[in-house]
């Protein structure tokens, strides 16, 4: 208001419109009474309570950095209401309030303005004084809005009231007019001179060039309701088109993408804050199921479907895996499919194709999977032919380690069944001491001396979000070598260890089943 040049405020009526006004370059925002009441769907007659207005202002203030001037109607009551209003506005970092010299409850100035009575001058001056006495911030401002022209009282009354309000402590005068030409406000400004800054709202005399106001020395111009009116026009047009066309084709190109809504809401800042303040497990966890192979060991069962879609207890094996993952809270699940891929069609999955499944190994599927997921969440990698109790995945998902594996201490059972297994040697065997120690993986192999075996790797790897890119790059390097085209996940684990990566071991005992034979399929029904 004290600037030597003409400045402008733009109307806003909620948090997102306030952000839009600030981004457009406005130095301040007008919290319009008309717009605030309209966005609530009520009339501009104090039908929205002042506490409801305060709540919306708080959202606007939190969303922006520029000062906000509230259209405070009549101050929502007498001098005592005004004192409380100022305190509450200051608590919400609102810079100023404008009050008008009419009676509570007010009516919009452009609806039968000449029939609206004005407030008693002395009573209104007392309200200004009470507001100034209540403020604790010296920079908080009270703008006195003179409605003499609206009510048909003329220039003399307008100047008389403005001077009384100046002496009562007002920081600026808003002179209002409902004429289609600026004659009244220009006459007032000439008579008033520069006793206090003068604010105008040229809603009705919008055709007047801004240079006219600049040359007459006005302080502030308020564009009072145009964001609301523009929004109404756009919403009406979109709603009518949707109702008539019954599809989104004709409107999608005319509306902003959802990503723009997220941007205005500050979604990126929240994502960055989550990285700083949330433990890794709170970022959310996703799963990648490697299920591209046929599973020839199951014979006729996989002639028309891959192993992951073989039915166990009436449902595909993959459905049981998804159910266990869901039970741990993992909903974001990607599946790498290959053999008879069209049969892998369960809902709510991110399906990734590996059309090289026949001439490649697990690492090709892993690389395609890592390229097909969003790397913002921690990742659980597992095979598509393993049944398991949910707690096995849960202990990995809750681990704060960047890399972790689950190792089954009941490895002798696998050895006795003469089934092929991936045995693990760790930094220390499973024992009472290992519960409190940080056990790490040393080596994984199908061929290992029994004295060196500490357990069986169960096919699960936890990869932290910050490690996903690095692991993907390592897999890429491995696959550049022709002899590693058919490399498997244990090869990757061993190379990670060789490269100095610490892979945390989580010991478990049983409660999982690797489907490697027809006997396993039969046994799986009782798992």
User: Has residue 414 got a pLDDT over 70?
Assistant: no
Residue 287 CB-half CA count within 13 A = 30
What is the residue-averaged pLDDT of the chain? 93
What pLDDT, on the 0 to 100 scale, is given for residue 114? Answer: 65
Residue 13 and residue 227 in contact, taking contact as beta carbons nearer than 8 Å: yes
What pLDDT, on the 0 to 100 scale, is given for residue 6? Answer: 97
User: Has residue 451 got a pLDDT over 60?
Assistant: yes
What are the strands, taking DSSP E only, across 49-116? 68-71, 96-100
Q: For 301, phi and psi rounded to 5 degrees?
A: -60, -25
Q: Which two tokens stand for residue 107?
A: 């009516």
Query: What is the rounded distance in angstroms from the CA atom of residue 30 to the CA atom of residue 8?
Result: 9
| Tens-digit pLDDT profile for residues 208-236 | 999 999 999 999 999 999 999 999 999 99
What are the strands, taking DSSP E only, across 14-140? 28-31, 68-71, 96-100
What pLDDT, on the 0 to 100 scale, is given for residue 111? Answer: 61
Banded model confidence at residue 115, pLDDT cuts 50, 70, 90: low
Mean pLDDT of the region 513-521: 88
Q: Which residue has the higher pLDDT, 464 or 415?
A: 464
Q: Which two tokens stand for residue 309?
A: 């879609």
Q: Which two tokens stand for residue 350?
A: 């991110």
**CATH class of the 284-524 domain in this structure:** alpha beta
Query: What is the rounded distance in angstroms from the CA atom of residue 265 to the CA atom of residue 389?
Result: 40
- Equal CATH topology for 7-225 and 284-524: no
Helix axis angle, 362-371 to 489-498, nearest 10°: 80
Catalytic annotation present for 44:
yes
Question: CA-CA-CA-CA torsion for 227, 229, 234, 240, nearest 10 degrees?
Answer: 160
Work out whether the CA dihedral 416, 383, 379, 487 comes out positive or negative: positive
Q: Which two tokens stand for residue 97?
A: 């309030």
- Nearby residues of 385 by Cβ (< 8 Å), 6 or more positions away: 291, 295, 307, 308, 317, 514, 515, 516
Q: Which residues pair with 425 in a beta bridge?
A: 443
Mean pLDDT of the region 392-418: 86
What pLDDT, on the 0 to 100 scale, is given for residue 435? Answer: 85
| Tens-digit pLDDT profile for residues 17-38 | 999 999 999 999 999 999 999 9
Query: What is the rounded distance in angstroms from the CA atom of residue 444 to the CA atom of residue 426?
Result: 9
Query: Which of 34-38, 109-113, 332-336 is predicted with the least confidence, judged by mean pLDDT?
Result: 109-113
Q: From residue 443, how far is each of 423, 425, 430, 451, 503 by CA, in Å?
A: 8, 5, 15, 14, 10
Q: From residue 410, how far is each of 357, 424, 453, 510 by CA, in Å?
A: 31, 12, 11, 6
* Sole residue written with tokens 């697990």: 362
Question: How do the domains of the chain map onto residue ranges?
Answer: 7-225, 234-276, 284-524
DSSP 240-302: HHHHHH-SSHHHHTTS--HHHHHHHHTHHHHHHHHHHHS-GGGG-EEEEEEE----GGGGGGG
Q: From residue 27, how far is each of 143, 219, 220 by CA, in Å?
A: 17, 13, 11
Banded model confidence at residue 418, pLDDT cuts 50, 70, 90: low
Query: Which of 382-386, 401-405, 408-412, 474-478 is predicted with the least confidence, judged by mean pLDDT?
Result: 408-412
**Chosen CATH of 7-225 out of 3.20.20.60, 3.20.20.70, 3.20.10.10, 3.30.70.580:** 3.20.20.60
Query: What is the rounded distance in angstroms from the CA atom of residue 337 to the CA atom of residue 355?
Result: 8
Query: What is the rounded distance in angstroms from the CA atom of residue 326 to the CA atom of residue 348?
Result: 11
What pLDDT, on the 0 to 100 scale, is given for residue 112? Answer: 63
Burial of 486 (0-12, 13-18, 19+ CB in 10 A): middle
User: Has residue 94 got a pLDDT over 80?
Assistant: yes
Q: Which two tokens stand for residue 488?
A: 């498997």
Given the residues 7, 44, 133, 491, the one annotated as active site: 44
Banded model confidence at residue 471, pLDDT cuts 50, 70, 90: very high
Query: What is the rounded distance in angstroms from the CA atom of residue 96 to the CA atom of residue 27?
Result: 14
What pLDDT, on the 0 to 100 scale, is given for residue 113? Answer: 55
Query: What is the rounded distance in angstroms from the CA atom of residue 353 to the CA atom of residue 306?
Result: 13
CA-closest candidate to residue 19, choices 72, 90, 92, 68? 68
**3-state DSSP of 487-506:** CCHHHHHHHHHHCCCCCEEE
Residue 54 and residue 48 in contact, taking contact as beta carbons nearer than 8 Å: no
């Amino acid at each position: 208001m004290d600037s030597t040049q003409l400045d402008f405020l733009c109307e806003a009526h909620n948090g997102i419109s306030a952000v839009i006004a600030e981004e457009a370059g406005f130095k301040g925002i007008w919290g319009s009474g008309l717009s605030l009441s309209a966005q609530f769907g009520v009339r501009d007659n104090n039908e929205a309570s002042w506490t409801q207005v305060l709540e919306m202002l708080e959202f606007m203030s939190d969303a922006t950095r520029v000062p906000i001037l509230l259209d405070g109607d009549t101050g929502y009551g007498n001098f005592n209401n005004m004192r409380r209003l100022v305190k509450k506005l200051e608590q919400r970092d609102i810079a100023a309030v404008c009050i008008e010299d009419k009676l509570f409850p007010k009516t919009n100035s452009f609806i039968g303005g000449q029939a609206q009575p004005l407030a008693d001058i002395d009573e209104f001056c007392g309200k200004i004084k009470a507001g100034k006495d209540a403020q604790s911030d010296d920079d908080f401002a009270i703008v006195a809005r003179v409605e003499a022209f609206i009510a048909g009282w003329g220039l003399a009354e307008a100047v008389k009231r403005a001077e009384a309000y100046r002496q009562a402590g007002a920081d600026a005068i808003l002179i209002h007019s409902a004429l289609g030409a600026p004659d009244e406000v220009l006459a007032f400004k000439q008579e008033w001179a520069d006793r206090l800054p003068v604010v105008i709202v040229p809603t009705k005399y919008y055709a007047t060039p801004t240079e006219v106001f600049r040359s007459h020395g006005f302080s502030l111009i308020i564009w009072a309701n145009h964001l609301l009116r523009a929004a109404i026009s756009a919403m009406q047009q979109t709603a009518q088109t949707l109702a008539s066309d019954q599809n989104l084709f004709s409107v999608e190109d005319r509306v902003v993408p959802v990503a723009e809504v997220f941007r205005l809401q500050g979604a990126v800042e929240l994502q960055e804050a989550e990285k700083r303040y949330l433990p890794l497990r709170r970022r959310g966890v996703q799963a990648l199921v490697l299920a591209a192979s046929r599973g020839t060991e199951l014979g006729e069962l996989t002639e028309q479907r891959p192993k992951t879609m073989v039915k166990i207890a009436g449902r595909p094996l993959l459905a049981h895996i998804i159910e266990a993952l869901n039970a741990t809270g993992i909903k974001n699940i990607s599946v790498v499919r290959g053999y008879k891929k069209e049969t892998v069609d369960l809902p709510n999955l991110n399906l990734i194709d590996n059309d090289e499944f026949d001439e490649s190994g697990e690492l090709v599927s892993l690389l395609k999977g890592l390229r097909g997921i969003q790397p913002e969440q921690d990742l659980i990698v597992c095979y598509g032919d393993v049944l398991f109790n949910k707690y096995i995945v849960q202990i990995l998902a809750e681990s704060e380690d960047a890399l972790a594996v689950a190792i089954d201490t009941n490895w002798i059972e696998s050895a006795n069944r003469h089934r092929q297994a991936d045995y693990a040697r760790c930094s220390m065997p499973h024992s009472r001491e290992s519960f409190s120690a940080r056990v790490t993986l040393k080596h994984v192999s199908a061929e290992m001396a029994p004295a060196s075996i500490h357990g069986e790797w169960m096919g699960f790897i936890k990869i932290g979000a910050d490690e996903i890119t690095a692991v993907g790059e390592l897999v890429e390097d491995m696959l550049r070598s022709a002899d590693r085209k058919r490399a498997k996940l244990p090869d990757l684990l061993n190379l990670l260890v060789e490269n100095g990566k610490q892979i945390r071991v989580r010991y478990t005992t049983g409660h999982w089943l690797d489907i490697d034979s027809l006997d396993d399929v039969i046994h799986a029904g009782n798992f």
